[in-house]
Chain A
Amino acid sequence: MTDTTKTDFNRAGEAKAGTASTSGAAAVLTDIRLWSAIGIVVLLILPHYVYPVMIAKVLCFALFAAAFNLLLGFAGLLSFGHAAFFGMSAYVTGYCLQSLGFTAELGILAGTAAGALLGLAMGLLAIRRQGIYFAMITLALAQMVYFVALQAPFTGGEDGLQGVPRRDLFGIIDMSSNMNVYYLVLGVFCIGLFIVYRTVHSPFGQVLKSIRENEPRAISLGYDADRYKLMAFVLSAALSGLAGSTKVMVFQLASLTDIQWQMSGEVVLMAVLGGIGTMVGPLVGATIIITLQNELAQIGSVSTIVQGAVFVFCVLAFRRGIVGEIKHRWTTWRGRS
């Protein structure tokens, strides 16, 4: 009834597929394998120059944001409750390492499984509504998880789980040094991002995309849209859990901060700032937000104010996000020359 010049939320950051034809130097510049290799080499060397715990933190949050982005950027679902998975997995990993004596990899696996299960439960409820309702429901359910964490016996209440031991990886590889933990995190990050990449570029990812673009049509083509959305939700929750679990190895701490709604907001901001629907965006967004928080940590609530302002600015004037904007400029520039 009105002319629909609406911008599709989910396509905001996405460069047009197929516009970058493979030819000459440009092909090299857009080759994902080349860039991944460069990125990994940089990340391998970086901890010798920058405090490894700091980069490890960034990588954990980058994975968290990538998991969130998988849901928003590729399935079109805006969750405001991802802290529940991140935080709950952190608690479970912390508990397994501290009280059950799990080795590092088993602790992380247990946390990830917890994230996936919680994702299944929340997803089953949340996918029953769409759009803003989906966002509100995930937020509310996550708040419920928060209250459970506040009262449950194994989370340490207000104190959280402190001094979680960094158990050996596979029972043999020593994890006590920051450097070793860093390389563990880097490994987890690479695996996680690879999973996201493969998911997006798989037939499953294609179906998600078509559901996002036109759900009734996808259903009429015979796809069970709800099942696909649920699978995407669970996968995203599991990867968020993986990020939360890994974070416990870095900081030896699982606390209410990880599971509060503010954390859900932060991951949204990282994804939006970096570029919704891009591969590298979450990493860029996480780097900026974490750096910002570190720089502003001393001056009261300034960090919250700045984050709020960045949010408002991004929505008003910078909807593609940093990586999305670069990609967009690049493709239009390519198109012209």
Chain B
Amino acid sequence: MDFLGVPFPVFAGQLLIGLINGAFYAVLSLGLALIFGLLNIVNFAHGALYMVGAFVAFLLLDILGIGYWPALLLSPIIVGLFGMVIERFLLRPIADLDHLYGLLLTFGLALLIEGFFRQMYGVSGETYAIPSILQGGFNLGFMFLPTYRAWVIVAAIIVCGATWFLIEQTRLGATMRAAVENADLVRAFGVNVPLLVTLTYGLGVALAAFAGVLAAPIYSVNPLMGSNIIIVVFAIVVIGGLGSIKGAIISGFLLGLCEGLTRVYYPEASNIVIFVVMAIVLVVRPAGLFGKTA
């Protein structure tokens, strides 16, 4: 059975991998977009904190014997709290400066965090087992679908949906949206905006950590796992624009799929295709797919 010139199982398999990568891209760029909205900085440390999320899950298991399911909740909380400390003590002092300083500072943090984990755990990486009920898979007839991979996609969609709901449908979300528009005025209504900013950074970073825990059983838990993915996510964010929650989610999944398709038809280009798309978008629609044209 051939599909567009390749055997269908191959096609479907690569598409699935694309969808899984897309799930990670979506959760990561969603966090970046949240942070960007309120802090106006691009969080360079996002990839490093994704890695820390995976490591926290690994360490919880290794040291305390705490398994996957609690870790899925605990690791984002721990990393989120860590992020709030970062925001409060490192990012807030430079909040009034040019936003490029935020980029530089978080870049430094990324080096610091990755260097630390490399020093402690080397570069070879640690394995993290798939939780028992998610082992195995389904035979779909045309291909084998590993349960854990299906779960990753479902979990990412749930988390993206929940975040969307929080931002678009709740009072807290309305306050956050208002603060994105005019933080001063929201503050003059009695809202503790600095606290809101801290919480938002914590939430964005917690999303990264959640993605890290999801990734732990698929990729090895590795100090460098965040540094390459974050550059791809930056490209996605340029493509989608940082302005919208929906835009971040959709472009994350779409570009994952796009990468998967490339792996089917022109594997050599699979790791640059997203950058190529970015270049094309910059030529055709410089403000990004979901950005407002200036």
Contact = CB atoms under 8 A, between A and B. Distances in A.
Interface string A119-143: 0000001101101110111011101
Interface residues of A, number: 49
B88 interface: no
B230 to A, nearest CB: 9
B104 A148 contact: no
A139 B101 contact: no
Most buried by A among B94, B108, B235, B238: B108
A173 B260 CA distance: 53
Interface in A1-20: 1-2, 5-10
Nearest to A121: B279
A311 B119 contact: no
B286 interface: yes
B94 A143 contact: no
Interface stretch (A103-111, A281-289, A298-306, A329-337): A298-306
B231 A6 contact: no
B282 A261 contact: no
B184 interface: yes
A269 B62 CA distance: 36
Most buried by A among B98, B116, B234, B283: B98
Contacts of B112: 304-305, 308-309, 311-312
Interface string B232-273: 101101100000000000000000000000000000100110
Nearest to B122: A300
Contact of B271 (A1, A10, A147): A147
B231 A140 contact: yes
A317 to B, nearest CB: 9
A78 interface: yes
B268 A305 contact: no
Interface in A309-328: 309-312, 314-316, 319
Nearest to B237: A136
User: Chain B's interface: helix, strand, loop or mixed, by majority?
Assistant: helix
B119 A140 contact: no
Contact of B101 (A80, A125, A309, A315): A315
A140 B115 contact: no
B275 A140 contact: yes
Nearest to A148: B272
B279 A125 contact: yes
B107 A300 contact: no
B235 A136 contact: yes
B104 A132 contact: no
Most buried by A among B42, B99, B231: B231
B211 interface: no
Contacts of A265: 107, 111
Nearest to A78: B100
A178 interface: no
B96 interface: yes
Contact of A301 (B109, B119, B232, B282): B119
Contact of A136 (B94, B105, B182, B238): B238
Contact of B113 (A6, A147, A308): A308
Given A131-B99, A133-B238, A140-B235, A268 B115 contact: no
A319 B97 CA distance: 11
A124 to B, nearest CB: 9
A147 B272 contact: yes
A1 B104 CA distance: 26
Contacts of A308: 108-115
B157 interface: no
Given A9-B101, A136-B42, A302-B115, A143 B184 contact: no
B159 interface: no
Contacts of B108: 269, 307-312, 314-315
A309 B113 CA distance: 10
A128 B99 contact: no
B264 to A, nearest CB: 18
B112 to A, nearest CB: 3
A305 B112 CA distance: 4
B101 A319 contact: yes
B276 interface: yes
A309 B231 CA distance: 21
12 contacts: A10-B98, A78-B103, A125-B283, A129-B286, A132-B103, A147-B271, A272-B104, A300-B118, A301-B116, A305-B119, A308-B109, A308-B112
Per CB-CB distance, the 3 closest pairs between chain A and chain B, nearest first, are A311-B108, A308-B112, A308-B111
Given A265-B111, A314-B108, 4 more contacts: A8-B98, A9-B100, A125-B282, A315-B105
